[in-house]
Structures are given as C-alpha cells and as structure tokens.
Amino acid sequence: MSIVIDVKDIGVSFRRNRKRNFSIREMLLQQKNTSPKGEFWALRNINFQVNAGEAVGLMGANGQGKSTLLRLIAGVLLPDEGSVTVNGGVAPLIELTGGLKSDLTARDNIGLVAGLHGVSRSELKKRFDSIVEFAEVGDFLDTPVRHFSSGMKVRLGFSIVTSIDEPIILVDEALAVGDAAFKEKCYIRMKDLLNQGKTLFLVSHKERDLKEFCTRGLYLKDGSLAVNGTLNEALNAYQKDSGGLHD
C-alpha cells in the first residue's frame, strides 16, 4: 500500500501568551490571552504513517493535542519540529463546521469550499442538489450560516467535505452533534467512502464511532503518542487511563 500521511518527529510548541505558526485566519480570530508566559510542547516526538484506504481512529483526553495533530495534517498549522507529508488532497471537517464562513450563505459556502478543493463549476452544478439534500438545508440556502444552529452547520459542512472527492478525509468530533437520523446518514456515507478506497482519519470520544469505522488506533497522552497499533490496543489503553469512553 502507498503511504498517504507520513508524520516524522513532529513537535508543536506554544507560548502561553500567544500561538505559533497558525494560519493567518486563526491568528486574526485569536483573542488576547492573559495566561502566564512560558513555552510548552503540545505535541512532541510524534511518528506514524497512514496507508491509502486505512481508517485510523485518534483518541485522547481533552487537551492532549488531537485537534492540533489534525490541523497539522490539514496543512493549517506548521510544526516547530519534524515534518508532515501528505500525498493527496485532504477534505477536513475540523471543529465541526468544515471551514464554513459565518457571513456567507449556505449556497455561497458550498461554492467556496468546493472551489477551494478544485471542484469546477460544472462539476459542482452536478453535485449541488445532492449536497443540499444530504445537509437538509434546502429552505435556508440563502441564509447566512451565522444564523444556523450547530447541528445545521455540521450537516452542511459534513455534506460538502464528503462530496468533493478528496482521497483523505479528516473528521474531528463531527458525528457527536446532530440527531440520530442524521448520524445514521453520516455512518452510511462514511462507509460508502471507505468502500471507495478513501482514507479516513477520525477523532472521536465515542467508542461506537471508532469501532464502526476504524481498525487502527492512535492514542495521544501528555503530548506523546502512547499507542500506535490496532484499534483495540489504543482503546484499551485509553479506557485504562480515562475510565472509559462514551457509548
């Protein structure tokens, strides 16, 4: 199998009064931090590879660097040490919304996100109705996303990023939001993508989601990769340290 994600000796350090190496957008949105000065390493000495077609579950307690690692793979954050090599396009659904712009309408967000991933206008026209139908936002196409509930934003973000044909899909807790019926739609969509040979990198605190899709697991603890093995090995280590995952 070909390697699509290659993480070598990465480290990410932060200062408590500022963030380092974020994208311009994230720096502009950052609010003033009054925490004490001092450097700490959010991640360090992280090494792993992901092969094409694998479904990898990433787990760890809050604050252990899971979202930071996803940002590194998505290319919106740069490591202070080491390197991250991604061979193929990435469809990121990070922080629930998939990069939606709150001041734009749902229609405009579909066009923007698809365009950023190289989807042509003619191709988007073919996919547009199915994106809207899956997201269940047909009555709100020309409404700014800032007026959407969190569930609506997730539906829209998930529908877009899973419809743009990138070979690597990053999902950060998106399946934790929304009603049961929509979750089942997401499960069916994710299984279909895996059957197409897509690579999945899933962050979740829910054991069902991890077991539903993943055969391999990564467990982050104290900024280090404590387990890089089968899903059960990672789950067992996480459960031993945390007392269990959510159902």
pLDDT in tens for each of the 247 residues of the chain? 699 999 999 999 987 654 455 555 455 544 444 444 568 899 999 999 999 999 999 999 988 999 899 999 999 899 999 999 999 999 887 765 657 899 999 999 999 999 988 999 999 999 999 999 999 999 999 999 999 998 898 889 889 989 988 999 998 876 666 678 888 888 899 899 999 999 999 998 889 889 999 999 999 999 999 999 999 999 999 999 886 565 5
Neighbours of 148 (CB within 10 A): 20
Residues sharing a CB contact under 8 Å with residue 122, sequence separation 6 or more, in sequence order = none
Contact 117, 162 (CB under 8 A): no
3-state secondary structure of 35: coil
Q: Put the strands of the sheet holding 81-86 in their side by side order.
A: 39-51, 3-15, 81-86
* Token pair belonging to 214: 């993943």
Query: Quick one: pLDDT at residue 32?
Result: 47
Has this prediction a pTM greater than 0.85? no
Query: Quick one: pLDDT at residue 206?
Result: 86
Query: Quick one: pLDDT at residue 242?
Result: 80
Query: Quick one: pLDDT at residue 131?
Result: 96
* Token pair belonging to 170: 């990053």
**Of 33, 43, 66, 15, nearest in space to 172 by CA:** 66
Query: Quick one: pLDDT at residue 36?
Result: 47
3-state secondary structure of 32: coil
Query: Quick one: pLDDT at residue 15?
Result: 74
